[in-house]
Amino acid sequence: MNTVVVAQLQRQFQEYLVSLYQQGFLDNQFTELRKLQDEGTPDFVAEVVSLFFDDCSKLINSMSRSLGRPESVDFKQVDSGVHQLKGSSSSVGARRVKNVCISFKECCDVQNREGCLRCLQQVDYEYKMLKTKLEDLFNLEQQILQAGGTIPQININ
């Protein structure tokens, strides 16, 4: 094992993770998820976020359909979708996505289709962005493991 390489990778990992928190992509809930990951469930976090991104995709599609025809918007359905998205994003710690959902809900409550569409767009953007970021993070993790190192547990204040 090349300890220098491992150390370097670990440092990179740490810095990257911290930046994600600092940029608001992630919040404390993500830390909690990482804590739940252990030797018995080494892929737990990856699995959870993967599910999350799948949910996002499905929900956004269905909401998009609901908001599609201006004359017959099913706000109830949209509201339900937003609600669920909010729930899951908060559960994984996807902070930005969650925040968009809050605005989204407000638009939905007043039946602001335009607003909803904008929010929908934003939600879509945010989740995809997060997805990319986390993929990079997981790559770093893999590199560390492959280099024989261990993934550092980082305490984010």
Partner 1 sequence: MTVEQGVQAVDQFPVGMRVLAVDDDQTCLLILETLLHRCQYHVTTTDKAQTALELLRENKNKFDLVISDVDMPDMDGFKLLELVGLEMDLPVIMLSAHSDPKYVMKGVKHGACDYLLKPVRIEELKNIWQHVVRKSKLKKMKGIVTNGESEGNSDQNGVRANRKRKDQLEEKDEEEQEQERGNDKKPRVIWTRELHNKFLAAVDHVGIKNAVPKKILDLMNVDNLTRENVASHLQKFRLALKKITNEAKQQANMAAANSHFMQMSSLKGFGSFHHSPIPLGSSQFHGGAATMRHYPSNRTFAGMFPHVSSSLPRNLHNDGGHMLQGTPFPPLENLHINSNNKAFPSFASQQSSLLVAPSMVLEGHQQSTSPSFSPHLEINKRLEDWSNNIPQSNVHSEPDALGWNMFGNSTNQTYFCRDTDFGSSSAAQADSLQMKQQHENIFSPMTVAQLLRSSSANEGLFMGQQKLENGFMASDAGSLDDIVNSMMTQEQSQAEFSEGDWVWVA
Q: Which parts of this chain interact with partner 1 (CB under 8 A)?
A: 29, 32-33, 36, 41, 44, 47-48, 51-52, 54-55, 80, 83-84, 86-88, 90-93
Smallest gap from residue 83 Cβ to partner 1 (A): 6
CA dihedral 10, 13, 18, 20 (to 10 degrees): -170
Query: Per DSSP, what are the bridge partners of residue 26?
Result: 94
By beta-carbon proximity to partner 1, the closer residue of 8 and 131 is 131
Count Cβ atoms within 10 A of the Cβ of residue 155 and give its class: 0-12 exposed, 13-18 middle, 19 or more buried.
exposed
Query: Which helix (H) or strand (E) element contains residue 56?
Result: helix 44-68
Smallest gap from residue 149 Cβ to partner 1 (A): 25
By beta-carbon proximity to partner 1, the closer residue of 6 and 85 is 85
Query: Per DSSP, what are the bridge partners of residue 94?
Result: 26
Smallest gap from residue 4 Cβ to partner 1 (A): 35
By beta-carbon proximity to partner 1, the closer residue of 7 and 36 is 36
> Rounded distance, CA 52 to CA 85, Å?
9
Smallest gap from residue 134 Cβ to partner 1 (A): 13
By beta-carbon proximity to partner 1, the closer residue of 9 and 45 is 45
